[in-house]
Structures are given as C-alpha cells and as structure tokens.
Structure 1
Amino acid sequence: MREFGIIFKQAFLSKAKTKSFVITTAIMIAAIFLFANISKIIDTVQTLTGSGDSEQVLYVKDDSGELVDRLSAQLSDVKVELTNEPKETILDKVKSEEIDSLLTVSVNQQGIINAEYTTMSLMDFAIPMQIQEALQSIQTEMKADELSLTGEQVQTLFTPIEFEQTNVSPSAKSEDELNQARVLVYVLMFVIYLSVIMYSSMIAMDVANEKSSRVMEILISSVSPVKHMFAKVLGIGLLGIVQIVIYGLAGFIALKTSATEVPGGFSDFFSFSDLNIGTLIYAAVFFLLGYFLYATLAALLGSLVSRAEDVQQMIMPMTLLIVAAFIIAATGLGNPEIGYLQYASYFPFFAPLVMFLRVGMLDLPMWEPLLSIAIMLVTIFVLGWFGARVYKGGVLMYGPSRSLKDIKKAIQLGKE
C-alpha cells in the first residue's frame, strides 16, 4: 500500500506543480471572471473611448413628404436628418463614409410604405431593425386613420390570444425548468467531455513518457504493474477533480460578484434560481464514472507505446468514442426524448454524456439512471481487470507500436 501511495502522490503532485497546469488554471479563472463581467467591461470601454456617446445620424430622403416627422418621433436613439439632395449624391457620400446611412422612403398608391436602407457597415443590424419596427408602426397608424379606427380598436387587432400548453408526459418539465436545465446540462456536458479527453490523454502520455525514459523498468521492479496503473488513474483523477472544483468556485464567485445587474441579462440567464441539486449529483457521478472508464482504457493503450509521439495515434479510437458521445448528446438538447438517445444512454462509453443529458432534462424513473450506472460500473470492473492484464505486459514492451493487435502480445508477455 505504501508503494501505491507514493505513485499516487507523485502522479498528482508532478502534474499539479507544472507551469502548464498553473498557467492554464489561472487563465481559465481569469476567463471566467472576464466572461461574467463582459457587459460591464464593454460599457467601461465605450465610456473611455467615447464610442457609446456618439449619436447615429440617419439621413432620410422622403419622397412622400409625410414620413420624416413621424419617423423622427419613433426613433428616439437616432437623429433623423431630412435631405433633398439627389439620391446619387447621397449614395456617394455613404460610399465615401461622409455620412452613416441613407433611408429612402415613399408611399405607393395602395398606401404601403416602401423603404430602402443603404449603409457601408457590414455589422449594422440594430438600426435597420429599429427603422423597420418604426415604419411598421407608422404603417399601422396610417391604415387606422384610413379606416377611421380608434386607438382602442387598433389595439384589439393585436391582442394576443391566451394559449396554454400542458404536457402530461411523466418525464416532462415546465418550459422554464427545461430552459434552465438545458443551459446547465450543456455546461456540465462540456466539462465532462473536455475533462475526460484531457485527463485520459494525460494518463496515456505519462505512461508513455515513463517507458521512453526507461523509468518504467525501475518502477515495475519495486511495485506491481496493477498498483502502478490504478495509482496513476486515481492520482490524475484527483488532480482533475481539484481543478474542476477550482473552476466551479471561481464561476460561483464570478456570478455572485458580477457587475451585471440588467434584468433578463447574463446574470439572470445563469442564475439557476430553481437549480435541481440532483442534477449536480448526477453530474458528479457521471463525471467520475466516465473518467474512470476512459482513464482505465487510456492507461491500457498508453502502456502499448514506448514513444510519446505514438500516443495520439494509439488513443484515437478512444477519442472518437468520446466525440461520438458528445455529438449524440448534443443532438438531444432540443429534444431529449429522441428514441436513439434512450438506447445510447445504456451503452457504457456513451452513458456519461447521454444518460446525464436525459436525467438532467427529463424526470426519468429512478431505475433508468441506476441501470446505466450499474452497466458502467460493471464495464469499469471488466475493463480494469482486462486493462491490468494488458498493462502488466504492455509496460515491458518496447519498439514501434503498430496497432491494437499489440494487446494480444502484451497479454502473453504479462503471463511470462
């Protein structure tokens, strides 16, 4: 047990003390705080540069002679200037960026407003939308006057119907709960996906580096390969848990101290006021199970190569499994009741993401996630037993690794 503890501690501390780990963690924490306060930062930059104080000027050529005043009253944030210059002259000024934009408006014989907006800006979306809404409102007023309708009568034309949707499915959630669950599930899915890829690859790379430096021969002479493998898996797993906890605390503090106070904004979107603690518990369970499943597989594959350059090629099938699981789970964000998701959630290599998606967005009967967890536990046990046999011989194999056929050779070598 002492040898196990030494390797476990070495696997954890050797990675935790590296500059890359510290720098990456610091950058991610800074990015979390930056993202949480992005609205305040943008407002501050606009204040300092003065860009937020500049008023948009809209030049209007009104062929009808009756729309400019109404349009000016509708557009409170835009200064409207009437121009009587020829259209070609104004267009030349727009192209030379002497003026921001030109709006040409007219009313046809049927009393319909025709408008043409011209600008040089590729990212000019907000102003045209405001203009379109304003002209639509003016159009409504003109038609109301034409039909001699009062203001109250016009309002009745746009009164929304009362529509209530009821879902009697036993797994259904309310729309608010579903939207909030969708955001949380997507974030946690992404965390599980990236963590499993990163830390599993780290294990395979660490084993390959020890083999290439011949350190493995010394380690195996004093500790069994099985203890060495599981010490690696648990040590780097603990490192991953610590890093994720740090990110989680940073995210929580960033949201609580965020300067964004606009209702319906960023802070409301990620407030999780109705957060289901069960979802977080399932996230932790599926993260741990997914990590141990793929980490054991990564250790097995890493033991087959003796050069760090061959690691990525050897773990490519494992990586494709994780990517496929994420893609399948992502397709269910819009509709988590798709049939193939139910079957995929019981496949052990897809279950960490797909079953978590389903249990996070649907009210499933308890037996479904428990069955998926049981299948994963059995798979981890079998993979650990098989992986230990391969690892025992694989760590003693040197030379170029050609393919997964080397697994048979590693098992035979481990028996000797």
Structure 2
Amino acid sequence: MNRFGLILTKSYMNKIKAKSFLITTIIFTLVIIGATNFQSITSLFDGEGGESDEKWQVVVYEEDTDIVNNLSGQTAILNTEIEITAGDNSRAELEEQLENGEFDALLSVNMTEAGRIDAEYLSASLTANAYSGDLQTALQTIQSNMAANRLSLSADELATLNMPVSFSQSAYVESAKSAEELDQARGLVYVLIFVIYMSVLIYSMMIATEVATEKSSRVMEILISSVPPIQQIFAKIIGIGLVGLTQIFIWATVGIISVNLSSDSLEGGIYSLFDFTSGSISTIIYGIVFFILGYFLYATLAAFLGSLVSRTEDLQQVLMPVNILIVGGAMLAFYGLATPEAGFITITSYIPFFTPLVMFTRVGMLNIPLWEPALAILLTVLSILVLGWFGAKVYRGGVLMYGNSSSLKDIKQAVQLSKKEK
C-alpha cells in the first residue's frame, strides 16, 4: 500500500506543479470571472452608468399623417435612447442628409385608406435592430389607439381587447416537476453536464498521456515488476482525479465568490435562462457522484488503452472510441434537457458509458424513483470493477509492448503477454 501511495502522490504532484496545470487554471479562472461579470464589463463600453450619452436620432417623414408627436411620446416610454424629430424637407433631401451622417435613421410614415400605418425604416446598418423594433411597437400602439377612437372604444375596452390570454401548465402526476421547477433546474443541470463532460474528456486524456509517456521512457518496465498493475492503474487514476477535483474546487470557489460580488448584474439577458437561486442540493450531490463515476469509468478505459501505444502521437487513434462514447453521452444528455421522458433517453441512462451524463439529466429534470439512479449507479460501479480487473491484465501486457501497437486488436496480444509475465 506504501507503493500505491507513492505512485498516487507522484502522479498528483507532477500534474499540480506542471505549467499546463497553472496556465489552464488561470485561464478558466479568468473566463469564470469574465462570464459572471459580463454585463458589468460590457456596460463600461457604453459610457458612465451603463448608458450611452448619445441618443439614436430618428427623423420622421410624414406625407398625410400627423403622428410624430404621439410617436415621440410612445418611444420615450419604450426606449429613452431614441430621439424623434420631424423632417421638414422632402424625402429625397432627408435621405441625402442621412447618407451624410446628419442623423441615424429615417422613418417614412403614411396612412392607408384602411386606416393602417405604413412605415419604412431606413438606416446605414440593420445591426441596431432594437431601435427599429421599439419604433414598430410604438407605431402598433398608435395604430391600435386610432382604431379604438374610430370604433368609440374606451381605454378599458381597448386594454381588454389587447389583454393576453392567461395560460398555465401543470402535470396530473403528483411527482412531476412544475414548469417553474424545470426552468430552475435546467440551468444548473446544463452547467453540471458541461462540467462532467469536459472534465471526463480532459482528465481521461491526461491519464492516457501519462501512461504512454512513462512507457516510452521504459520506466514502466521497472514499475511493472515491483508494483501490481491494479495498484498502478488505480493509483494514477486517483492521483489525476485529485488534480481534477483541485481545479474544479478552485473554479467553483472563484465562481461562487464572483457571483456573490456581482449578483446585481446577473439579471436579465442571458442570465434569465439560468436560475440557480433554487438549486437543489440533491441535484448537486448527484452531479458530484456521477462526475466521480464517469471519471473512474473513462479513466480506467483510457489508462489501459494508453498502455497499448508506444508513442504519444498514437493516442488520438487508440482513444477514438473513448471520445466517441463521451461525445455521444453528452449529445444524449443535452437532448434529454428538452425531452427527459423520451424512451431512448430512459434506456440509455442505464448503459454505464452513458449513465454519468444521461441519468444525471433525468435526475435533475424529473422526479424519478430512487431505485432508478441507484440501479444505474450500481451498474456503473460494477462496470468500473470489471473494467479495472480486465484493464489491469491489458495494462500489464500493454506496457511491455513496443512498436506500432496502436490498434484495438492489440488488446488480445496484451492479455496473452500478461499471462506469460505471471
């Protein structure tokens, strides 16, 4: 067990001290800080207070209408950055002034015989579509008020006419989550799925690279004769797993602190899609459990596959099945966010290679019986044990194989070689 601890400590300390660890940790830390303060950062480019001092100047050209005053009042309610002025010249002259940059946009308005407002918006670029959208909304309100006057409708009657339908959703199954609970869970589940996916992908590759590197240096020939393969493989897996947990702990700590310091700016916009205020503790616990299971499953597979190659350049080829399985599980998980009750999502959640991502999605999005995740966890643990036992055999023979051994057919040769070494 002392040798097991030495290999574990060596694997952990080598990665912690590596420049790649420091660089990736710092980069992702800066990304987290930037993401949690995105709105505050972008507001710095809009002037003091987050609002631009310059208004979007719109000149209105009217033929037979007189709505510029109403339009000015409506846009003042919708968007204070829009400034409405009436055009005194002909349309051709106004278009020439627009091209010369004397104002930002030209709005040509006339009234059809049917009482409909016909408007044309002209600007140098359509990227500022928020302004044109607010102008369209203001004109729609003006048109509705004009129609109400023609029909002698009161303000209350007009409000009733435009009142939106009240539409609520509920499930007849008592254990089903409400629409609000689903919205609250979706953001947390989405982020945790991404964390599990990226962590498993990166750290599995890290383990395979370390095994291949040690093999190419012939150090493995000494280790394999003094330390049992099962201890070697799991010492490396646990050591690098602790490296991953160290990074995730740092990022999580930075994220929590940054969110608390910038909580006022995390409102509206893209942040409206993620509601973490009611994040379930059980969902986070399941996320940790499935992260550990996924890591051990794919790390064990990556370790013995990495032992088959003699050069690190061949790792991508031999690890292709691992990458396909991880990407496939991520695609199923992200699809399951929208339809977690789909039959194939339920079935694949019990397949060990997909369980860490797909079953976690179901746990986060649905109120499923406890026996379902428990069964999936049990199947995954058994798969890890079987894979570890078989992987140790492949590992023992694989690390002694040299040459162009970079295909899956070499697994049989590695097992046979391990039997001879006993």
Taking structure 1 as the reference length, the TM-score comes to: 0.95
* SS of residue paired to 1:104: strand
Match of 1:148 among 140, 146, 152: 152
1:192 maps to 196
**Contact conserved, 2:109 with 2:117, CA < 8 A, in 1?**
yes
Which has the larger displacement, 127-136 or 242-251? 242-251
> 1:31-88 CA deviation, whole Å, 9 max, x = no partner?
2112111212222232269971111100111112311111111111211122243333
2:10 maps to 10
Distance 1:326 1:266 in 2: 22
* SS of residue paired to 2:29: helix
2:387 maps to 383
Distance 1:358 1:271 in 2: 18
1:133 maps to 137
* SS of residue paired to 1:369: helix
Match of 1:179 among 160, 179, 183: 183
2:238 maps to 234
Q: Which residue type is aligned with residue 149 of structure 2? A: D
Distance 1:400 1:230 in 2: 26
Pair 1:390–1:190, CA change in 2 (3 A): same
Q: What is the CA-CA distance between 1:218 and the residue it aligns to? A: 2.7
**Contact conserved, 1:258 with 1:267, CA < 8 A, in 2?**
no
Which has the larger displacement, 134-143 or 260-269? 260-269
* SS of residue paired to 1:396: coil
Pair 1:183–1:409, CA change in 2 (3 A): same
Q: Which residue type is aligned with residue 210 of structure 1? A: E
Which has the larger displacement, 69-78 or 153-162? 153-162
Q: Which residue type is aligned with residue 203 of structure 2? A: Y
Pair 1:286–1:94, CA change in 2 (3 A): same
Distance 2:50 2:89 in 1: 31
* In the alignment, structure 1 residue 214 sits paired with structure 2 residue 218: yes
> 1:203-228 CA deviation, whole Å, 9 max, x = no partner?
00111111112222232233222221
* In the alignment, structure 1 residue 318 sits paired with structure 2 residue 322: yes
* In the alignment, structure 1 residue 347 sits paired with structure 2 residue 366: no
1:294 maps to 298
Q: List gaps (5 residues or longer) in structure 1.
A: none
> 1:292-343 CA deviation, whole Å, 9 max, x = no partner?
0000000011000010000011101110010011111111111211111000
Distance 1:157 1:49 in 2: 38
1:21-36 maps to which residues of 2 (within 5 A)?
A: 21-36=21-36
> 1:115-167 CA deviation, whole Å, 9 max, x = no partner?
11111224111101100110000001100111111111111212334433221
Distance 1:217 1:250 in 2: 42
Q: Which residue type is aligned with residue 249 of structure 2? A: V
**Contact conserved, 1:97 with 1:120, CA < 8 A, in 2?**
no
**Contact conserved, 1:193 with 1:322, CA < 8 A, in 2?**
yes
Which has the larger displacement, 264-273 or 249-258? 264-273
2:43 maps to 43
1:83 maps to 87
**Contact conserved, 1:37 with 1:260, CA < 8 A, in 2?**
no
Distance 1:154 1:268 in 2: 31
2:53 maps to 53
**Contact conserved, 1:260 with 1:266, CA < 8 A, in 2?**
no
Q: List gaps (5 residues or longer) in structure 2.
A: none
Distance 1:92 1:70 in 2: 26
Q: Which residue type is aligned with residue 23 of structure 1? A: I
Q: What is the CA-CA distance between 1:244 and the residue it aligns to? A: 1.0
1:58-73 maps to which residues of 2 (within 5 A)?
A: 58-73=58-73
RMSD: 1.9
**Contact conserved, 1:36 with 1:266, CA < 8 A, in 2?**
no
Percent identity of equivalent pairs: 48
Distance 2:218 2:102 in 1: 71
Match of 1:415 among 416, 419, 422: 419
Which has the larger displacement, 221-230 or 343-352? 221-230
Pair 1:28–1:405, CA change in 2 (3 A): same
* SS of residue paired to 1:167: coil
**Contact conserved, 1:40 with 1:259, CA < 8 A, in 2?**
no
Pair 1:321–1:354, CA change in 2 (3 A): same
Distance 2:363 2:93 in 1: 63
**Contact conserved, 1:39 with 1:260, CA < 8 A, in 2?**
no
> 1:181-208 CA deviation, whole Å, 9 max, x = no partner?
1100000000000000000000001111
Taking structure 2 as the reference length, the TM-score comes to: 0.94
Which has the larger displacement, 302-311 or 240-249? 240-249
2:125 maps to 121
Q: What is the CA-CA distance between 1:91 and the residue it aligns to? A: 3.1
Distance 1:321 1:152 in 2: 60
Distance 1:122 1:110 in 2: 29
Distance 1:32 1:131 in 2: 37
Distance 1:346 1:95 in 2: 64
Q: What is the CA-CA distance between 1:400 and the residue it aligns to? A: 1.0
Pair 1:31–1:414, CA change in 2 (3 A): same
* SS of residue paired to 2:338: coil
